[in-house]
Amino acid sequence: MRLSTLTFALAGLFATGAVAQELNLYSSRHYQTDEALYSNFSKTTGIRLNRIEAGEDPLIARIINEGAASPADVLVTVDAGRLWRAEQAGLFQPIQSKVLNERLPANMRTADGQWFGFSARARVIVYNKLTVNPADVQNYEDLANPKMKGKVCTRSGSHIYNLSLMSALIEHLGEARAEQWAKGVVDNFARAPKGGDTDQITAVASGECGVAITNTYYYVRLMKSTKPEDRKIIEATGLIWPNQKSFGTHMNVSGAGVIKTARNKEAAVKFLEYLTGNDAQTYFAEGNNEWPVVKGVALNNKALASLGTFKMDTLNIGLLGKNQPVAQKIFDRVGYK
């Protein structure tokens, strides 16, 4: 596990002898634009920010192992499933904030305020333009249709992205229908699940697969690339917003919560509130080709905006975690490895 610590502070903050407020942030985000996100927080608040970076699961394990002695004030990570795991481990404390309640949509806040979503990503269907009729895959459920026999590619069923999608389907379809769907998808595999989302898109473009599931930001990265091979991938594939006539396209988040043992709770709450500001929303979302979650924030990412508008699933992010144990059991039963 690679760890790095970066500290941002106002120049001359200690010139008057005043004691600075601090914030200890554990973050699994590692995007270049986040540097501006964090430094701007210190500039606007005067709060010194100390950051520890690592992978999502190692950071959660680190806070658990540190116990009551953990210096962590805030955990920032990706996917509602991981935030829920941190909640289940007892890492967060509930936060009541008028700013968070007013700025964030209700579905981007857990019911008891233990963690919050600050930027959104969509899980979509990508198809090969030569071998698949897009009319045949307008919904997640269509991936289980016998028409897709030998054409479906995904990453591992145990990956958090697919577990969160399955959690949403359990909520919308019920456990029995969701399991039928999972079995149908397994029956339609073009190959055993492997690789990441970019690998799925590449396999669709090459014709190895006809359709795949991916998070939108992987697709937009390829759209923005100047590499000829990436341009060919985009030219060979199309993107579908699933379930536009029913519950909408599955959405997930980058999010954060205040650690239960936080020594700098006031600064931690200020940081979460800061993330709902227009500038922070732009930094947060632009760093990984995601959408701002605060209403009215402009989307400056031209490539992402070019995908157009779509109906988003408004399922509360807390439910994506709650259903994960059942989702994993279903995947195990149907052989979705």
Average pLDDT, the chain: 92
Residue 241 has pLDDT above 80, yes or no: yes
pTM of this prediction exceeds 0.85 = yes
Percentage of the residues of the chain whose pLDDT score is greater than 90: 86
CA distance 99 to 92: 19
Which CATH superfamily hosts domain 4-119+253-298? Periplasmic binding protein-like II (3.40.190.10)
Q: What is the pLDDT of residue 20?
A: 63
Q: What is the pLDDT of residue 223?
A: 97
pLDDT in tens, 180-235: 999 999 999 999 999 999 999 999 999 999 999 999 999 999 999 999 999 999 99
The strand ranges marked E within 106-155 are: 116-128, 152-153
DSSP 4-26: EEEEE--TTTTTT-PPPPEEEEE
Residue 10 has pLDDT above 60, yes or no: no
Which CA distances in Å does 218 have to 126, 175, 183, 214, 233? Answer: 11, 29, 26, 7, 12
Q: What is the CATH number of domain 121-249+320-334?
A: 3.40.190.10
For the segment 98-119, the average pLDDT, to the nearest whole number, is 96
How distant is the alpha carbon of residue 127 from its chain centre? 22
Sorted by where each begins, the domain ranges of the chain are: 4-119+253-298, 121-249+320-334
Does residue 234 or residue 10 have the better pLDDT? 234
For the segment 97-112, the average pLDDT, to the nearest whole number, is 96
CB neighbourhood size of 265 (10 A):
17
**Residues 6+ away with beta carbon under 8 Å from 310:** 122, 241, 244, 248, 249
The answer to whether residues 233 and 302 touch, using CB atoms and an 8 Å cutoff, is: no
Q: What is the pLDDT of residue 283?
A: 87
Residue 12 has pLDDT above 70, yes or no: no
Residue 49 has pLDDT above 80, yes or no: yes
Tell me whether the CATH fold assigned to 4-119+253-298 matches the one assigned to 121-249+320-334. Answer: yes
